[in-house]
Structure formats: structure tokens, C-alpha cells
């Protein structure tokens, strides 16, 4: 009988020890993060490369947030950060230069899906503060940790006005490139880069803020809704001469290839491809030269537009977006793709 009670006592002690044992801590190790700013191949500027803030969001294999890490000034200078995380498979999402409101939304995300759904607008970018994102994976082991190298990429496409040549008949004399702006610009995106186009700036080349959409941008004080889509130029070009351009515009990606045609003012807006509009003053009258970017605008590409003006363009009475004949305008669009380094040129 004593043996029986002894066995029961030992069993109770063992059971008690299991019930009171502290859970084993999760294994952890260091994840070393590095990054490269992949600028567009076409004449990237220093402002396009600036990093003012950079956050890393590290998720486990189930897409649940493990660590959110804000880079220090030292990290940004070294272009490297080391973060202690739990071991296992990780997805890393880097987000740079978000404005405060968007950053707060990102920091409230508990899952990878929630973070990738955070939205932002074209106007959230600044002249030296372009939003950038990158995504990568790593497997962290306790003995050696892991490395994860990321390529930061802008969500915008860049449109550059290159050379404008005056090949009008000589009696027209010098012309003035007055202004240039984008029409039908996609203005929204999300961190995943997969948002449907929902915000459109400069619809059919008009100032949509005026309600009736009866004024073309640049006329009567009507301005573009987003500064990235408009430039005053005011450059004179002699007959046979050229202007070096240099104006740069930005837009969110646009997968549409349909041209606007000649939409009437006040009609319901129908989304189309993005259009670069160049306005030239010839013999005291403004003429409009639309260049449809109909091969799709892709993020982090530079779309260089060169123009040769051969004949008179559209007037306001004609409709600025009316298609220009090749006999009046010769345009080439050269696209530099930073991912592959490939370049293709389209003559319009």
C-alpha cells in the first residue's frame, strides 16, 4: 500500500512540474537588411534618390507582423540595418518617404495584406521626397541569422520633355513653347502597387476643380491639380532651331492604351491613356500638340518625349486633344526600363 501511495505522489509531482514550467522562449536571431535605390535609367536626379524615412515591416510565414523597424540616421547613412527577429521564413516590406498620415496607416497594419492595401496619392510625393517600396524574403536561422537585400522602387512613372524642334514653314518664324502638362493622369496607388485607377487628375486637359470643366489648364488661371503634372516653359525657338526641354512630370502607372479622341467639354469623363500636352504660341495664337503615351505607363520608368513641330496643332476651338496628323507633328517616346535595362522607342 505504501508503494502505491508513493507512486501516486511521484506522479503528482511530475504533473505539477509540467503545469508550472515556463514556456520555452522562441528562438531569435539577426536579420541584416540592405537596400539599393534603383533610379530610372533616364537621367535620375538627386531629389529622386533622397531617403528621409525608411521603415521595414517583417512578417512571418503566415503573413502576421513580427517586427516593424524605423531606420535611424546611422542606418540610412550606412544603407544597412540589423533587426532581431524570430527564426523562420520571413517576408520583408520596405516603405520609404511616406507622409505622416500614410505612415500612421502603415504602422497600424497587423498583417502583410493590410499593409499592402495602404493607399497614397500622387500628391503625397514631394520634389525631394518620392515614396519608394521594396519586397523581399529571407529564412532566418538561429545560428547564422539571414541577409535580405532589397531594391527600392518608385511607384510613379517619369515623363521627360526632351528636344522640341521648330520645322514649320519659314514664314511662321520663331515659335514659343508656352507650357506642357499631362492629361488623364492616374493619381492613386497602394503599397502593393496593384490598386485600380480611381483618381484621375487633369481630366481631358481641364481643371476639374472648376466643376463645369470648361477651361483648359493654363487658360484663365486654371491650374493643374497636382504640381507634378504641369510646367510653364516659355522658351522661344527660331525656325530650324530646337529647345533642349528638361521638364519632368510624374504620374501613377496607367495600363490603358486607348487615346482620348476629341472629348467635348462638360461630357462624362472616360479614362484613357495618359497624354503629354505641349502648347506652342505661333503668330500670337496658342496651338496644342497632344502626345498619347499609349504603350502603357509603367512604374519606375522614364518616358522621354522628343517632338518636331511641322504644322499647326489644335486650337481651343478644335479641341486640344484632337489627334494630330504625322504631317504636323513628329513625336518619339523612348522608354527606359530600370528593371531590365531595355529601351524601346515608339514613333507617333
Whether residue 189 has pLDDT greater than 70: yes
**Across all residues in the chain, what is the average pLDDT?**
84
Task: Name the pLDDT band for 55 (thresholds 50, 70, 90).
Answer: very high
- Note the pLDDT of residue 209: 54
Lowest average pLDDT, out of 88-97, 114-123, 170-179, 263-272, goes to 263-272
- Strand bridging mode 329-337 / 28-37: unpaired
Determine phi and psi for 95, rounding to 5 degrees.
-135, 125
88 beta partners = 140
Lowest average pLDDT, out of 152-161, 215-224, 233-242, goes to 215-224
Residue range 124-136: mean pLDDT, rounded: 90
- Note the pLDDT of residue 346: 44
Q: Would you say 35 and 150 are in contact if contact means Cβ atoms under 8 Å apart? A: yes
What is d(CA 258, CA 273) in angstroms, rounded to the nearest whole number?
6
What is d(CA 164, CA 146) in angstroms, rounded to the nearest whole number?
51
User: What digits encode the pLDDT tens for the residues 86-120?
Assistant: 999 999 999 999 999 999 999 999 999 999 999 99
Q: Which CATH architecture has domain 28-152?
A: Sandwich (2.60)
Q: Which CATH architecture has domain 157-347?
A: Sandwich (2.60)
Q: Distances from the Cα of 120 to the Cαs of 19, 125, 161, 197, in angstroms? A: 50, 9, 26, 12
Cell numbers describing residue 209: 476643380
Whether residue 266 has pLDDT greater than 70: no
Q: Would you say 290 and 309 are in contact if contact means Cβ atoms under 8 Å apart? A: no
Whether residue 344 has pLDDT greater than 50: no
- Note the pLDDT of residue 341: 40
As a residue count, the chain comes to 348
Establish whether domains 28-152 and 157-347 are of one fold.
yes
CA-based nearest residue to 234, from 170, 285, 175, 290: 175
Neighbours of 246 (CB within 10 A): 13
Determine phi and psi for 176, rounding to 5 degrees.
-120, 120
User: What digits encode the pLDDT tens for the residues 291-327?
Assistant: 999 888 998 888 999 999 999 999 888 888 888 777 7
What is d(CA 78, CA 76) in angstroms, rounded to the nearest whole number?
6
User: What digits encode the pLDDT tens for the residues 41-54?
Assistant: 444 566 777 899 99
Domain ranges of the chain: 28-152, 157-347
180 beta partners = 231, 278
Amino acid at each position: 500500500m505504501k508503494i502505491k501511495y508513493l507512486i501516486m505522489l511521484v506522479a503528482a509531482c511530475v504533473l505539477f512540474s509540467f503545469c508550472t514550467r515556463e514556456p520555452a522562449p522562441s528562438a531569435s536571431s539577426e536579420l541584416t537588411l540592405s537596400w539599393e535605390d534603383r533610379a530610372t535609367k533616364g537621367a535620375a536626379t538627386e531629389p529622386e534618390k533622397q531617403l528621409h524615412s525608411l521603415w521595414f515591416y517583417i512578417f512571418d510565414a503566415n503573413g502576421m507582423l513580427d517586427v516593424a523597424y524605423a531606420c535611424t540616421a546611422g542606418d540610412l547613412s550606412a544603407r544597412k540595418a540589423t533587426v532581431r527577429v524570430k527564426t523562420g521564413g520571413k517576408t520583408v516590406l520596405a516603405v520609404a518617404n511616406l507622409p505622416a498620415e500614410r505612415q500612421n496607416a502603415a504602422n497600424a497594419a497587423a498583417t502583410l495584406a493590410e499593409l499592402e492595401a495602404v493607399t497614397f496619392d500622387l500628391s503625397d510625393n514631394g520634389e525631394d521626397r518620392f515614396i519608394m517600396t521594396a519586397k523581399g524574403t529571407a529564412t532566418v536561422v538561429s545560428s547564422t541569422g539571414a541577409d535580405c537585400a532589397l531594391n527600392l522602387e518608385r511607384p510613379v512613372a517619369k515623363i521627360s520633355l526632351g528636344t522640341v524642334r521648330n520645322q514649320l514653314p519659314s514664314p511662321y518664324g520663331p515659335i514659343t513653347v508656352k507650357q506642357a502638362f499631362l492629361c488623364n493622369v492616374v493619381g492613386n496607388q497602394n503599397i502593393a502597387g496593384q490598386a485600380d485607377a480611381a483618381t484621375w487628375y487633369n481630366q481631358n486637359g481641364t481643371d476639374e476643380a472648376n466643376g463645369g470643366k470648361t477651361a483648359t489648364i493654363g487658360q484663365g488661371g486654371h491650374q493643374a491639380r497636382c504640381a507634378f503634372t504641369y510646367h510653364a516653359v516659355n522658351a522661344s525657338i527660331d525656325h530650324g532651331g530646337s529647345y533642349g526641354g528638361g521638364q519632368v512630370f510624374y504620374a501613377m502607372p496607367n495600363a490603358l492604351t486607348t487615346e482620348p479622341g476629341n472629348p467635348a467639354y462638360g461630357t462624362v469623363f472616360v479614362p484613357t491613356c495618359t497624354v503629354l500636352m505641349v502648347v506652342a504660341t505661333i503668330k500670337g495664337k496658342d496651338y496644342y500638340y497632344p502626345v498619347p503615351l499609349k504603350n502603357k505607363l509603367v512604374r519606375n520608368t522614364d518616358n522621354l518625349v522628343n517632338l518636331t513641330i511641322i504644322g499647326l496643332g489644335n486650337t481651343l476651338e478644335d479641341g486640344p486633344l484632337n489627334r494630330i496628323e504625322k504631317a504636323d507633328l513628329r513625336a518619339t517616346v523612348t522608354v527606359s526600363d530600370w528593371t531590365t535595362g531595355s529601351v524601346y522607342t515608339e514613333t507617333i
